[in-house]
Chains A and B, each alone.
Chain A
Amino acid sequence: MIINEDFEPTRGRDKRLPPGQYETRDFPVLSLGPTPEVTTEGWKLEITGLVQNQLSFSWEEFLKLPIEKVKKDIHCVTKWSKFDTEWEGVSLDELMKRAGVGESATHVIAYSHDGYSTNLPIEDVRDGKAWVAVRYEGEDISAEHGGPARLLVPHLYFWKSAKWLKRIEFIDRDVPGFWEVRGYHNYGDPWQEQRYTFD
């Protein structure tokens, strides 16, 4: 390791910061292309794959589901972390209960309106670890941050929290998504610094 003797840190080292991350108070954006325009009119969220009941919610129907409030730290692979972000959304536990997810399901794929997708092991969306968020800091989620609805899986790098969510599919094998086939880690645990395929 190189020691940069004359390097004087200006930012603190908060215990909540995973390795290689720094705190930001802004909310930067990471997306592969232009922000798509997704409106609540005609909006649909579908739950498909290995489920007893395929579900499809309109915006109005979705907002009638039990909404939880959560406060979480989030970590982007581009190195910023943001503490105590407040979200409101429907937990994946709730959606899985309603859909009746089959025992053979091992993975989840989240699909977005811009053609993006990302994969997660089913354990990582179970037991209060994942939500479909519809509000951020008490407001509707803005377009560049994935509104009207995005996935929220705060314990993994934030690219796993798919923006502009339109479908959640339960499957019995692992299928890497958009960034996962483009050099980013398949699982993405910030505390293990699993940024890239080779980490």
Chain B
Amino acid sequence: METPGKNNATPSTDLRRLWQAATLVRFGFAAGNVKSLVFKVPEWVKHLPGQHYDIRLTSATGYQAERSYSAASAPESEGVIELGVEFLEKGEVSPYLWNLKEGGKIEIRGPIGGHFIWTSEMPGPLVLIGGGSGMVPLMSMLRHYHLTDTSRRPIVFLISARSLDRVLYKEELEELMGKHPNLSVVITLTDEAPSDWVGYKRRVDSEMLQEVLAKVSGGMPMTYICGPTGFVEAVSRNLVAEGAAPHLIRTERFG
């Protein structure tokens, strides 16, 4: 189960180490504050759902800034790399990526990471818990499931967002729910909810986790939690307190 991320190629021939020129071929909005950016690279390497890429910007003076962004696309989307970038006020890199036009170029390398990974070869139910743009790598997992897995394993995607317009990939999630009766998408809105909202309206807590986890039966689930540090800490602590096995919980903190 832990083979992903191991190196098969020798360092000198490993394409993942090269900074490649990535060209923006498409963009759109994944949510009000998150842009979906689709890049093409000369030498595409298939990633594993959950992995990330490093991107690098170089200014005219030679100053360089590097940041990490998770792949949102499924590995099955051959030849392209889709990222989901949240706009950060006064951020150095994310506003630049937001302003990138079609045909614009940045440098990218990867895919990277060997633990926060899920593939449909892994057995058992799947629990995905995302806070804000932490939904990005989880969407790669879900898309991969949709494209490759015929099992009817239970899957729950618990999403915490400040408001409904900050839930990423909303229409696509509705579509996927229609196609997979075994998939439940549960949204909690922490700051602001429409007047007719019947879903959760609070931060993820133990009671919510219990109710949501009641939807997964048929074995111990693998659980993936991604988002800001505070969110990941609180959710994972609650899960363990509720009796979940720590070794079946994998986390990624965006900082």
Residue ranges of A at the interface with B (Cβ–Cβ < 8 Å) = 1-11, 13, 19-22, 24, 26, 28-36, 78-80, 114-115, 144, 178-179, 181-184, 196-199
Contact = CB atoms under 8 A, between A and B. Distances in A.
A38 B17 CA distance: 37
A34 B105 contact: no
B195 interface: no
A117 to B, nearest CB: 13
Contact of B253 (A22, A29, A36): A29
A18 to B, nearest CB: 11
B3 to A, nearest CB: 10
Contacts of B112: 183, 196
Interface in B215-248: 229, 232-233, 236-237, 239-240, 246-247
B125 interface: no
A8 B59 contact: yes
B251 interface: yes
B162 interface: no
Contact of A34 (B17, B59, B91, B249): B249
A7 B255 contact: no
Nearest to A76: B255
Interface stretch (B65-73, B180-188, B196-204): B65-73
A30 to B, nearest CB: 6
Contacts of B106: 2, 4
A181 B58 contact: no
B166 interface: no
Nearest to B255: A28
Contacts of A78: 68, 255
B7 A198 contact: yes
B6 A181 contact: yes
Contact of B96 (A7, A36, A114, A184): A7
B65 A22 contact: yes
A34 B240 CA distance: 8
Interface string B31-74: 00000000000000000000000101111100111111000000
B96 A4 contact: yes
A35 B233 contact: yes
Interface in B138-197: none
B255 A80 contact: yes
Contacts of B66: 20-21, 79
12 contacts: A2-B106, A4-B105, A5-B60, A7-B59, A8-B59, A35-B237, A182-B6, A183-B6, A196-B112, A197-B7, A197-B11, A198-B16
B7 A3 contact: no
A32 to B, nearest CB: 6
A5 to B, nearest CB: 6
A33 B114 contact: no
B5 interface: yes
Contact of A2 (B21, B96, B240, B255): B21
Contacts of B14: 198
A20 B109 CA distance: 13
B60 to A, nearest CB: 6
